[in-house]
Amino acid sequence: MTSSSTKRFPRVAAALTAAVLSGTLALAGCGGEPDKPAASPSPSPVPAPTVKSAAKLVHVQGKFPRSRHQAVATNVAKVVDRWLQAAYVGGDYPRATSTFTAKSFPGFSKGTIAQAGKQMSLMSNATIAPDIDGVEVVSSDVHVDLLANNNYPVGAVARVRLVYDTTGDLESRQTVRGSLDMVPTETSWAVFGFNITREEKPATAPSASPSPSGDKS
């Protein structure tokens, strides 16, 4: 066995040497250049900002099962969020004021859309849209007062507070707050009245960090 292995080894070594040499020659024939590294993957797109309000049922007038409190608050908040998304947070910025239309008020009744359309600077980002290049939601809350009858909702007041920051030529913190009067529909809720205020503050500049030595100079 030892003799046979000893005789086979030179043949195996010779075969390996030939393979290495032929590979080297093949590389030399190709110029000996290493393969180019694969292109790095493109960065993932930044997700568009969205509104998802924290919903809470805070008051009920009439008979309504406690087990359905959170569900009705969530359903009301979904309608509110559609408006906040369409009117303030969603879409590309900067953009023209004229891009804000009746579609900025999803979930509103026809008459309420007409009223909101006369107050675009309050009920949407229409007037500041040309001067900003982005929106970042800080917080959004919807507290619901529910009117019920025999375990069914018959009306609601949604108390809204949306805080968001804008970037671009207009760097600011915007706060939209107020109430929406709502009634249930066959499948959702509809807004039939509103009382909204809006506050704008300049963006707060970050304070300078002190030097490690504590020297203020």
Between residues 83 and 28, the one the model is more confident about: 83
Contacts of residue 198, Cβ cutoff 8 Å, sequence gap at least 6: 122, 174, 175, 176, 177
CATH number reported for the structural domain that contains residue 122 in this entry: 3.10.450
Residue 48 lies in a domain: no
Residue 127 lies in a domain: yes
Q: What's the pLDDT at 204?
A: 76
Tell me the pLDDT tens digit for each residue of 103-147.
Answer: 999 999 999 999 999 999 999 999 999 999 999 999 999 999 999
Residue 138 lies in a domain: yes
Residue 176 lies in a domain: yes
Q: Which parts of the chain fold into alpha helices (H)?
A: 2-29, 69-84, 110-117, 120-123
What value does the mean pLDDT take over residues 175-187? 98
Reading the block at residue 132, the tokens are 């900003």
Q: Is the pLDDT of residue 22 over 70?
A: no
Between residues 110 and 28, the one the model is more confident about: 110
Residue 45 lies in a domain: no
Reading the block at residue 202, the tokens are 């300049």
Residue 43 lies in a domain: no
Residue 98 lies in a domain: yes
Reading the block at residue 57, the tokens are 């049922």
Q: How many structural domains compose the chain?
A: 1
The residue range of the domain holding 173 is: 54-202
Residue 83 lies in a domain: yes
